[in-house]
Chains A and B, each alone.
Chain A
Amino acid sequence: MRQLINALIKYKNTLLYTVLLMISLLFLNLRSFYHQSVFSNAALVLSSNINLAGQNISNYLDLASRNEKLIAENIKLKGLELILFSEQAQKDQAINSFAFQVLGARIIKNNYQSARNYLIIDQGYLDGIEKEMGVISSDGIVGIVNQITANFSSVISILHRDIKINASFKKNGAYGSLSWQGNHPKRMKLDDISTINPVVVGDTIVTGGMSDYFPHGIPIGKVLNFKKPKLEGYYDIDIELFSNLTQKEFVYILKNKKKDQLNQLKNESR
């Protein structure tokens, strides 16, 4: 008890200050609407955060029963899906006749700062990935599979200085090769378009069918500006990509089912 009193005496100034500060804050709260609103706002933020934490904990403890509910719902939906599939057999035939098979993957690592960029995706040869498959995203092309392991693959990004992609104009099919200059992740250059073809700013560029990697007609970008040489020759065209490769998360891998035939044909005609 004596120690308590001694402590009180020792810190009496601080205690007095604290008490008087509380009184002045009350006074402030009473007299000023602005301060009142700030205080009540702070109290609201505090209480809502505490409530949120409590909510999260109770949600977590509730997970098991929720999981059971979800499984039950999934079983029901799976049954419905199977019924739908049996009705859809005809549509599947159309998909099968398309020369490319589509596989999905998630980007694990995406690089776009250096001059030669690679991506890593979470599918490997166990999932049916092979070398030299084309990789596209929902709004453009991404690259070509370079190396594969059991569960992962590395993809040469189109943002790679040494890669050239066959691309053509959507309006007239004039084709050239698309390459990256290494500066801006949305700018590429289209070469080898002869000046006999008309070019307008804003023309859409799609993949050309000359490569084995991509089917014809995937939109890549549009013409940003172009330079015509003084004499006849080839245009110098800047392309702006539709897709932003710096913020991709999911990609699709195109498996060319008829690649064997193509290679055989190429070798024979050599």
Chain B
Amino acid sequence: MNRDNIVSVFQFFLLLFLQSFLLNMINLFGFINPNLYLLYIIVYRLDSNPTLLIILGFFMGLLLDLLTQGSGGHTIATLTIAFLRPSIIKFSFGVNYDVPMGMIKGSLLSQRLLYLLLMVMIHHLVLYSVIYFSFNNTITILKNTLFTSFFTFIMVYISLGLFKEK
């Protein structure tokens, strides 16, 4: 077990507990809880095994749902985004993404922003669609997706800056 794996496991549980015991209590404006745990899937090494990420994403969502008495929305959303991640990376960075680090230093800012936005927006859209699960609530789903994505995006962006400092 090398150092990267230990860091990864540490990140997994840190983000999980941070999300379930701190961030889900925020309720900004009554309904906005930024989902920072998505950071784990965003910064997961680009060259690592995508199959493992799907399993990790599933357990991340499942544990989060169990800890927060959620209905299962996080499980499906996180699983989906982990499954879609290779496609999103290909779409945002182009086909040649064989760079080992999580966030690519050499990539353009616009490519990084596109990647982050796509990850966050798709995750939230799936999350709120599963939670509300009704066509009558389309407006609510879109509203929640938009606002929560905005705050999650800001938090993820700030956190990425913090990691870079290290």
Q: In the complex, what residues of B have CB within 8 A of residue A27's CB?
A: 62, 65, 72, 75
Main secondary structure of the interface of B (DSSP, over half): helix
Stretch at the interface among A10-18, A101-109, A162-170: A10-18
Q: Which B19-70 residues have C-beta < 8 A from chain A?
A: 50-51, 54-55, 58, 61-62, 65, 70
B83 an interface residue at 8 Å Cβ cutoff? Answer: yes
Given known pairs A17-B54, A20-B58, the reply for A31 and B72 (CB within 8 Å) is yes
Q: How far is the CB of B74 from chain A (nearest CB, A)?
A: 9
B5 an interface residue at 8 Å Cβ cutoff? Answer: no
Question: What is the number of residues of chain B that contact chain A, defined by CB distance less than 8 Å?
Answer: 21
Q: Which B69-106 residues have C-beta < 8 A from chain A?
A: 70-73, 75-76, 79-80, 83, 86
A90 an interface residue at 8 Å Cβ cutoff? Answer: no
A20 to B62, CA, bound (A): 11
Given known pairs A24-B76, A28-B71, A32-B72, the reply for A38 and B58 (CB within 8 Å) is no
Asked if A13 contacts B72 (CB within 8 A), the reply is no
A21 an interface residue at 8 Å Cβ cutoff? Answer: yes
A60 an interface residue at 8 Å Cβ cutoff? Answer: no
Asked if B72 contacts A38 (CB within 8 A), the reply is no
Q: In the complex, what residues of A have CB within 8 A of residue B58's CB?
A: 20, 23-24
Q: How far is the CB of B109 from chain A (nearest CB, A)?
A: 29
User: Which residue on chain B has the smallest CB distance to residue A39?
Assistant: B133
Asked if B71 contacts A35 (CB within 8 A), the reply is yes
Asked if B72 contacts A16 (CB within 8 A), the reply is no
Q: In the complex, what residues of A have CB within 8 A of residue B2's CB?
A: none
Q: In the complex, what residues of B have CB within 8 A of residue A20's CB?
A: 54-55, 58, 79
B134 an interface residue at 8 Å Cβ cutoff? Answer: yes
Q: In the complex, what residues of A have CB within 8 A of residue B54's CB?
A: 13, 16-17, 20
Q: In the complex, what residues of A have CB within 8 A of residue B79's CB?
A: 17, 20-21, 24
Asked if A28 contacts B76 (CB within 8 A), the reply is yes
A17 to B78, CA, bound (A): 11
A25 to B83, CA, bound (A): 16
Asked if B51 contacts A16 (CB within 8 A), the reply is yes
Q: In the complex, what residues of A have CB within 8 A of residue B70's CB?
A: 31
A12 to B86, CA, bound (A): 14
Given known pairs A21-B79, A24-B76, the reply for A16 and B62 (CB within 8 Å) is no
Q: Which B101-126 residues have C-beta < 8 A from chain A?
A: none
User: Which residue on chain A has the smallest CB distance to residue B82?
Assistant: A17
B130 an interface residue at 8 Å Cβ cutoff? Answer: yes
A24 to B77, CA, bound (A): 10
User: Which residue on chain A has the smallest CB distance to residue B134?
Assistant: A38
User: Which residue on chain B has the smallest CB distance to residue A17?
Assistant: B83
Residue interface bits A17-55, CB-to-B below 8 A is 1, else 0: 100110111011001101100100000000000000000
Asked if A28 contacts B50 (CB within 8 A), the reply is no
A17 to B80, CA, bound (A): 8
Q: How far is the CB of A23 from chain B (nearest CB, A)?
A: 8
Q: In the complex, what residues of B have CB within 8 A of residue A12's CB?
A: 51
Q: In the complex, what residues of A have CB within 8 A of residue B71's CB?
A: 28, 31-32, 34-35
Q: How far is the CB of A40 from chain B (nearest CB, A)?
A: 13
Q: In the complex, what residues of B have CB within 8 A of residue A16's CB?
A: 51, 54-55
A25 to B130, CA, bound (A): 10
User: Which residue on chain A has the smallest CB distance to residue B86?
Assistant: A13
Asked if A28 contacts B72 (CB within 8 A), the reply is yes
Asked if A13 contacts B51 (CB within 8 A), the reply is yes
- 19 pairs of residues in contact across A and B, judged by CB atoms under 8 Å: A13-B50, A13-B51, A14-B83, A16-B54, A17-B83, A20-B54, A21-B79, A24-B58, A24-B72, A24-B75, A25-B76, A27-B62, A27-B65, A28-B72, A28-B76, A28-B130, A34-B133, A35-B72, A38-B134
Ordered nearest first, which 5 A-B pairs have the shortest CB separation? A28-B72, A32-B71, A17-B83, A24-B75, A20-B58
